[in-house]
Amino acid sequence: MENQSQPIKLQGSIEISYEWSAGVAGSRFFQEIRDNKRIMGTKCPKCGRVLVPPRIFCEECFVDVEEWVEVSSKGELVTFGESYLGTDGSKLKEPWIVGIIRLDGADGGLIHYIGEARPEELKIGMRMEAVFNEKRNGNILDIKHFRPSK
């Protein structure tokens, strides 16, 4: 007798509570967004790169970074992707879009949601601007999303 194996489906969920320190650089970064709607970076004293998100050392030069500089909340769309699936795998009527935005005055980019635009309206290199939430809690979602600049 032939033993035919049928796939077994397992369902379940795991809720994990966690808490960790954002560190020196992350804490100041999120506090500035929350309290002042300002995006800050750190500037390497050796190569001059402005690191956003900020770090306490330059990973190129391996030197400590202590100087803080404000960067623009506007920048250039470097790349983006869209998904018509929710995080639970369900189909969505409207896609969610994530992109990398290189902010003016920064050498790095922020990965964040793109809003107020359809995927077909977006172009690599187009100007984007941050939209801040009115109620901010000290995390990256204090920036609601980035949208095409007006």
**How large is the average pLDDT for residues 68-91?**
95
Q: How do the residues of the chain divide into helix, strand and coil, expressed in percent and rounded to 5?
A: 15, 40, 50
Residue 88 has pLDDT above 90, yes or no: no
- Spatial separation of the C-alpha atoms in residues 109 and 77, rounded to whole Å: 9
Q: What pLDDT was estimated at residue 20?
A: 85
Q: 141: Cβ–Cβ under 8 A, 6 or more apart, which residues?
A: 133
Phi-psi region of 120 (alpha: psi -120 to 50; beta: other; left: phi over 0): alpha
Identify which of 41, 31, 99, 91 has the alpha carbon closest to the alpha carbon of residue 70. 41
pLDDT tens by residue, 31-56: 999 999 999 999 999 999 999 999 99
- In this prediction the pTM is 0.84
Whether the predicted pLDDT of 1 surpasses 60: no
